[in-house]
């Protein structure tokens, strides 16, 4: 029996379905375009390179941050770029508008329906996929998991993980047959540290992967992360926006996520057996993010709920963290002086506490922030206006018709892009050395324009606001 329960379709029927889907999505896009045009502020922007693709192919295959930054220089802090089938996206690089969309009015700016449906099918429920009140409630129940008490306890788990890996590296270096040279795949080891840390802090599970070998479920995750954007995946993503049944097709990515869910079942069962319905106070050895959700909601979670929570943490936290740590090591390898300075600071804290890490190690903080600035995991954040809105701007703009405005009118359904990487690296905000890795910039005052960007330390790497 097929895991997808999709009846086998004769191929001609399949192509009929695809053809009807494509036509219907084009007609819908056209109607939406005509309808939206009347209400929206007329924005400037680049010419359309292709009616079929707009700029999507260019942005997917190149460094999107460079394009957004160049367009900012040409068109200003708010502009419109062409998207597939004659549609468009409004790009915000104005700090006040971004803060409004992602933070103060974020529940009006939701994920594209198709993307959320895809996430839901892949993950199940969970914080990443909820909107509105469900999201508020779920978020509240996760907050205790990020309390100082939890972070203090989690710090010891992170330190133990890194120290185990360091010992492993040293033993390889010191092995007689290696003559003081060892070739290490940093990405592989950072994956191991990240996966193990999320297992333990997320849901009290020891994956035992600090020997550098991910468990099968970890390997499924990295395979998903490595799947590149093919023409087929782009077409299916486009169709998905209108026809969620695409998620039921036996595509590589859909099948990968079914395998992940199946592989997590045993871990979820073990967690459920240990924690049943956790209502008592969480002592350190019982602390974890999923346990705090159960306690906060004062109910036991079903096996499917637990798998969804685990999936959410692994999808949101695993590769984001390991890739960021890998970039950090890469930058340190390119900047030996930074490495020396950091090592000197670290030597003063052989076993740092949470408080020391948070307040007494400024150079470590600067290196971490600079890595997060230069190498944000998500290049862009995409949203859709759920209702008509008027977005306030920090700096007035001139519209296509020559009018100067300090608000942008967005009809419901307008697609929005916040270009994270371009905002983090724009020379207009960060100065002429914005594209260079320079932790020292964090040790003195930031340029005034960079300070106007909201978000964690004026970066959009973790976006901004409640999401």
The residues of the shown chain that bind ligand HEM, judged by CB under 6 A, are: 127-128, 135, 139, 198, 202, 312-313, 316-317, 320-321, 324, 377-378, 381, 461-463, 467
Q: Of the two residues 90 and 381, which places its CB atom closer to ligand HEM in the complex?
A: 381
Minimum distance, C-beta of residue 170 to ligand HEM, in the bound complex (Å): 26
The C-alpha angle 214, 379, 193, rounded to 5 degrees, equals 20
| Beta carbons of 417 and 77 less than 8 angstroms apart | no
Q: Which residues contact 194 (CB under 8 A, 6 or more apart)?
A: 317, 318, 319, 321, 322, 325
Minimum distance, C-beta of residue 467 to ligand HEM, in the bound complex (Å): 4
391 forms beta bridges with: 408
Minimum distance, C-beta of residue 422 to ligand HEM, in the bound complex (Å): 14
| Beta carbons of 40 and 409 less than 8 angstroms apart | yes
Minimum distance, C-beta of residue 29 to ligand HEM, in the bound complex (Å): 23
| Beta carbons of 291 and 205 less than 8 angstroms apart | no
Q: Of the two residues 324 and 369, which places its CB atom closer to ligand HEM in the complex?
A: 324
Minimum distance, C-beta of residue 442 to ligand HEM, in the bound complex (Å): 16
| Beta carbons of 292 and 145 less than 8 angstroms apart | yes
For helices 336-347 and 362-374, the axis angle rounded to 10 degrees is 140
Q: Of the two residues 69 and 421, which places its CB atom closer to ligand HEM in the complex?
A: 421
Minimum distance, C-beta of residue 187 to ligand HEM, in the bound complex (Å): 14
Q: Of the two residues 160 and 409, which places its CB atom closer to ligand HEM in the complex?
A: 160
Return the closest-CA partner of residue 272 out of 244, 300, 235: 300
Q: Of the two residues 139 and 403, which places its CB atom closer to ligand HEM in the complex?
A: 139
Taken in order 326, 328, 329, 334, the sign of the CA dihedral is: positive
Q: Of the two residues 94 and 421, which places its CB atom closer to ligand HEM in the complex?
A: 421
Helix (H) or strand (E) holding 91: strand 88-92
Q: Of the two residues 236 and 288, which places its CB atom closer to ligand HEM in the complex?
A: 288
Minimum distance, C-beta of residue 129 to ligand HEM, in the bound complex (Å): 8
What is the rounded CA–CA span in Å between residue 204 and residue 290?
9
**Coil, strand, or helix at residue 384?**
strand
What is the rounded CA–CA span in Å between residue 356 and residue 152?
11
What is the rounded CA–CA span in Å between residue 392 and residue 77?
12
């Amino acid at each position: 029996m097929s895991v997808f329960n999709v009846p086998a379709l004769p191929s001609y029927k399949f192509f009929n379905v695809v053809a009807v889907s494509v036509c219907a999505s084009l007609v819908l896009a056209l109607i939406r375009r005509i309808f939206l045009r009347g209400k929206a502020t007329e924005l400037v922007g680049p010419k359309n390179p292709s009616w079929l693709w707009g700029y999507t192919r260019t942005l997917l295959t190149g460094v999107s941050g460079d394009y957004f930054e160049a367009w900012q220089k040409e068109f200003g802090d708010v502009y419109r770029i062409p998207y597939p089938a004659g549609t468009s996206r409004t790009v915000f690089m104005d700090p006040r508008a971004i803060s409004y969309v992602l933070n103060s009015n974020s529940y009006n700016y939701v994920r594209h329906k198709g993307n959320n449906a895809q996430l839901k099918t892949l993950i199940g429920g969970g914080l990443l996929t909820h909107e509105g009140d469900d999201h508020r409630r779920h978020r509240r129940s996760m907050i205790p998991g990020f309390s100082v008490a939890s972070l203090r306890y989690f710090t010891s788990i992170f330190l133990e993980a890194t120290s185990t890996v360091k010992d492993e590296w040293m033993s390889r270096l010191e092995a007689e047959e290696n003559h003081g040279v060892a070739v290490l795949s940093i990405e592989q080891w950072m994956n191991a540290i990240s996966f193990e840390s999320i297992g333990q802090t997320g849901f009290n599970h020891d994956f035992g992967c600090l020997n550098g070998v991910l468990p099968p479920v970890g390997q499924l995750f990295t395979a998903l992360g490595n799947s590149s954007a093919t023409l087929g995946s782009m077409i299916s993503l486009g169709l998905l926006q209108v026809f969620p049944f695409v998620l039921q097709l036996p595509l590589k990515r859909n099948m990968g996520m079914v395998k992940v869910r199946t592989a997590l079942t045993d871990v979820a069962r073990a967690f459920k057996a240990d924690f049943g319905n956790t209502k008592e106070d969480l002592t350190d050895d019982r602390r974890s993010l999923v346990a705090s959700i159960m306690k906060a909601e004062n109910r036991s979670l079903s096996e499917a709920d637990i798998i969804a929570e685990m999936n959410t943490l692994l999808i949101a936290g695993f590769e984001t963290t390991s890739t960021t740590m890998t970039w950090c090591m890469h930058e340190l390898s390119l900047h030996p002086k930074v490495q020396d300075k950091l090592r000197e600071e670290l030597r003063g804290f052989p076993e740092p506490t949470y408080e020391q890490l948070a307040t007494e190690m400024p150079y470590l903080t600067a290196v971490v922030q600079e890595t997060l600035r230069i190498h944000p995991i998500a290049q862009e954040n995409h949203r859709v206006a759920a209702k008509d809105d008027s977005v306030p701007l920090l700096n007035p703009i001139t519209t296509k018709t020559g009018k100067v405005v300090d608000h942008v009118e967005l009809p419901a359904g307008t697609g929005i892009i916040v270009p994270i990487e371009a905002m983090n690296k724009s020379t207009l905000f960060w100065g002429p050395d914005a594209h260079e890795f320079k932790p020292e910039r964090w040790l003195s005052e930031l340029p005034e324009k960079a300070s106007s960007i909201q978000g964690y330390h004026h970066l959009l790497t973790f976006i901004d606001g409640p999401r």
